[in-house]
Amino acid sequence: MDRINVITVDGPSASGKGSLARKIAQIFDLAILDSGSLYRLYAFFLEKDIDLRSIPKIIKTNIEFKITQNDLRITYLKDDITDKLRSEKIAVKASELSSLAEVRDALFDIQRAFYTHKGLVADGRDMGTVVFKDAKLKIYLTATVEVRARRRYLELQKRGQEVNMPALIADIEQRDLKDSSRELSPLLPADDAHVIDSSDMSLEDVIKITKNLIKEEYI
């Protein structure tokens, strides 16, 4: 198999995939794909009563991804909808929608189109197993449910959203179960993925390990 210049970062909710992907993209000047946000966009547009079949076209024509210093912002017709997309309500709906073949099939090509010769960091659940099977480097980032819930708690609190720790743990556990037990593209490390358990690590530790892997296998 010819390997393409893609680094995949898969793993469960709140494992720190997004932060790692953004940092690596910044350091190595790579394009970035936050595939979870595409599933969240489906949830967002369905809430607006937009027909499921019209959503791929809207994503292709009216959605823009903008990399800022520390974030990846998403605009819909110039309106910044990033915070709306990151709510727990949208996350739960996105997880439900992600088990539909129609949604996964439509998003496959949209996701592949993020690849350019500049190279790409793609984070999600099935980047290394399905969408970019031919990626040069695959990472599977995980952590215990308690550690992930704590990180999500602090993140939501910082954004001024109301949070409740037991509810957050229950939500994450339920989503883990759904994401890993669904029939289509279940959450699993690819056979050739490097598994990193970040339960006792800082983001800086994870970045350091990833930079070493990039030097060994990507560059």
Token readout for 29 is 């000047």
Q: 198: closest CA among 16, 34, 19, 21?
A: 16
Can residue 176 be called a binding residue for ligand DC (CB under 6 A)? Answer: no
**In terms of CB distance, is 119 or 148 closer to ligand DC?**
148
Residue 54 known to bind ligand: no
How does DSSP classify residue 72? E
Residue 199 known to bind ligand: no
Long-range contacts of 42-50 (CB under 8 A, 24+ apart): 42/94, 42/97, 42/103, 43/90, 43/91, 43/93, 43/94, 43/97, 44/81, 44/84, 44/85, 44/90, 46/93, 46/97, 47/90, 47/93
Residue 17 known to bind ligand: yes
Can residue 94 be called a binding residue for ligand DC (CB under 6 A)? Answer: yes
Residue number closest to ligand DC, CB atom:
36
**In terms of CB distance, is 119 or 124 closer to ligand DC?**
124
Residue 18 known to bind ligand: yes
Binding window for ligand DC (CB under 6 A); candidates: 119-127, 137-145, 193-201, 210-218: 119-127
Q: Residues 98, 129, 142, 210: which binds ligand DC (CB under 6 A)?
A: 98
Token readout for 96 is 């439900």
Residues that bind ligand DC (CB under 6 A): 13, 35-37, 39-40, 91, 94-95, 98, 124-127, 175, 179
